[in-house]
Amino acid sequence: MLEAMGLSSLEDLFSHVPPEVRLDRPLDIPPGKSEYEILDFFRTHGSECADGYASFLGAGVYRHYRPVLVDTVVSRSEFLTSYTPYQAEISQGTLTTIFEFQTMICQLTGMEVANASMYDGSTAVPEAAMMAVRLTGRDRILVARSVHPEYREVLATYSRHQAIPVVEVNYSQESGALDLSDLERKINPQTAAVIVQSPNFFGIVENYQEAAEIAHRHGALLIFVFTEAVSLGILEPPRTADIVAGELQSFAISPSYGGPFAGIIATKEKFMRQMPGRIVGETKDTRGNRAFCLTLAAREQHIRREKATSNICTNQALVALMATVFMTVYGKQGLRELAGQNLAKAHYLAGKLPLRFSGAFFNEFVVSAKSPDAVNERLLQQKIIGGVPLGRHYPELKTSMLLCATEMSKREDMDTVAEVFAT
């Protein structure tokens, strides 16, 4: 090859890179390893990570069974090793599955359009907030304190430099749900959107309908956030919300220490041109056959540059495909039955523990404990990872912890948790 190019050595290819910026030593990285050594390294490190423990952690990342079909499909080279489907004629596989994904997200959420995915739920929230600012021409955001604390931190980072003030709305110390009277007090004519999560961070099903009415009465939009997608199998979809920003990790996406996950934004048709992210639409090819392609690109960074709705480019396509396969495998009956099992398991465990809040809950709930850390310590001795102590994010809840039970929680482990609490 060098000969064809009239060169004598590979180094000649870099002759135009000034010598003073060249690295004059080898990289300090150990020599290449074999497949066996690499897998051995990761297996060893994996075994140091709570292997064999039962867990009652939720708080935005949930343990749900992953049907075998999911990895079978996403391991196919044609999905795994393809790029963003700009060339529609040879990307109909990816495009069709995204169109199905968008459809199922609409069916689940009661919205009319959905994008192809966002990085995760936490970044979907500020993207939804910025979308509301563009749509309303207002600049103030109200966010419930019962929205996931880390999501609110991400919102703070995004909003700070765009001069978008964010004001927090309290929750009721009794029910654990959004304090609607505090919302009434804080909403004003500058409010672009009210952000409510349901089930909220405490697991409580919010009265988002009432919050939406209040928002709409003041000309603001309601952004509905969810972190536990399985709940939509049994909970009413947020039909009266204006934008839905959610996390699909529950749909067959491994916890993987926090990512990669897949977020979504869904909304009403009239708002679609302000929606960030990739969108797939249906059309025809020149032979008249149904075909799909990326569309409404006039919103996006590669066309609009500094005037784009967002800078997002690569999103979470393969992870969204996991969710698509999951929704297909469980389907209409299955998602409902799965949600029902979660409801039953959580209520079984909650029934044995001192509940902190009175509001209705799905598969997560807050319990009182004099010292959450001490309880967790005792549970660890039984090879059980307990709940999330709430003191760090909610100083007023330092004697409370958040527990989650899913279809994967075993009755005997739940009984052990109850015994540890009782002692």
Partner 1 sequence: MIKKVRPHINQNEVLLFERSSPGKRGYQLPPLDVPHIDPLSALGARNARSEIADFPEVSEVEAIRHFTRLSAQNYAIDLGLYPLGSCTMKYNPRVNEQAARVEGLAWAHPYQPEGLSQGIMQVMAALEQALAEITGMDAVTLQPAAGAHGEFTGILMVRALLESQGHPRKKLLIPDSAHGTNPATATMAGYAVQNIKSNELGMIDVDELARVADEDVAALMITNPNTLGVFEEHIRRIGEILHAKGAQLYMDGANMNALVGIARPGDFGADVMHLNLHKTFSTPHGGGGPGSGPVAVKRHLIPFLPKPRLSRGDDGWAWNYDLPESIGRVRAFYGNVGVHIRALAYIMAHGGKGLRNATLDAVLNSNYLRVLLEPYYDLPHRAPTLHECVFSDARQAKHGVRTSDIAKRLIDYGFHPYTVSFPLIVPGAMMIEPTETESKAELDLFVDALISIAKEAEETPELVRTAPHDTRTSRVDEVTAARKPILRWEPAQAKES
Query: Which residues ranging from 151 to 190 are in contact with partner 1 (CB under 8 A)?
Result: 151, 153-154, 156-158, 160-163
Interface positions, 47-66, toward partner 1 (CB under 8 A): 47-51, 53, 55, 57, 59-61, 63
Chosen residue from 146, 191, 250, 310 binding partner 1 by CB under 8 A: 310
Question: By CB under 8 A, which span of 133-141, 172-180, 187-195, 287-295 interacts with partner 1?
Answer: 287-295
Residue with tokens 């909970």: 235
Chosen residue from 174, 181, 217, 303 binding partner 1 by CB under 8 A: 303
User: Binding of partner 1 at residue 8 (CB under 8 A)?
Assistant: no
Residue 381 DSSP code:
H
Q: Compare residues 24 and 189 and give the one whose CB is closer to partner 1.
A: 24
Least distance to partner 1 from the beta carbon of 348, Å? 4
Least distance to partner 1 from the beta carbon of 399, Å? 18
Least distance to partner 1 from the beta carbon of 358, Å? 13
CA distance 341 to 128: 31
Tell me the residue length of the chain.
423
CB-facing half-sphere around the CA of 156: CA atoms within 13 A: 10
Site string for partner 1, 372-411 (x = CB under 8 A): ----x---x----x--x------------------x--xx
Q: Compare residues 185 and 344 and give the one whose CB is closer to partner 1.
A: 344
Question: By CB under 8 A, which span of 133-141, 183-191, 218-226, 324-332 interacts with partner 1?
Answer: 324-332
Buried b (16+ CB within 10 A) or exposed e, 155-183: beebbeeeebebebbebbeebbbbbbebb
Least distance to partner 1 from the beta carbon of 176, Å? 15
User: Binding of partner 1 at residue 370 (CB under 8 A)?
Assistant: no
CB-facing half-sphere around the CA of 412: CA atoms within 13 A: 2
End-to-end CA distance of the chain: 75
Element (DSSP H or E) covering residue 367: strand 364-368
Residue 394 makes CB contacts below 8 A (sequence gap 6+) with 145, 149, 400
Q: What are phi and psi of 326, to 5 degrees?
A: -60, -50
Q: Compare residues 10 and 189 and give the one whose CB is closer to partner 1.
A: 10
Least distance to partner 1 from the beta carbon of 196, Å? 14
Element (DSSP H or E) covering residue 292: strand 290-294
Chosen residue from 165, 219, 331, 354 binding partner 1 by CB under 8 A: 331
Contact 401, 386 (CB under 8 A): yes
Question: What single letter denotes the amino acid at residue 100?
Answer: E
Q: Compare residues 171 and 208 and give the one whose CB is closer to partner 1.
A: 208
Element (DSSP H or E) covering residue 83: none
Residues facing 365 on adjacent strands: 403
Contact 197, 148 (CB under 8 A): yes
Least distance to partner 1 from the beta carbon of 187, Å? 22
Q: Compare residues 120 and 228 and give the one whose CB is closer to partner 1.
A: 120
Question: By CB under 8 A, which span of 133-141, 165-173, 183-191, 342-350 interacts with partner 1?
Answer: 342-350
Task: For residue 256, give the nearest of 382, 363, 120, 126 by alpha carbon.
Answer: 120
Least distance to partner 1 from the beta carbon of 292, Å? 8
Interface positions, 105-134, toward partner 1 (CB under 8 A): 106-108, 112-114, 116-117, 119-123, 130
Q: Compare residues 114 and 397 and give the one whose CB is closer to partner 1.
A: 114
Question: DSSP strand E in 140-233: where?
Answer: 140-144, 166-169, 191-197, 221-226
CA distance 283 to 241: 29
Q: What are phi and psi of 246, to 5 degrees?
A: -140, 175
Total site size for partner 1, rule CB under 8 A = 194
Interface positions, 242-281, toward partner 1 (CB under 8 A): 254-260, 262, 272, 278-281
Interface positions, 17-36, toward partner 1 (CB under 8 A): 17-18, 20-23, 26-33, 35
Token pair of 76 as six digits: 């196919």
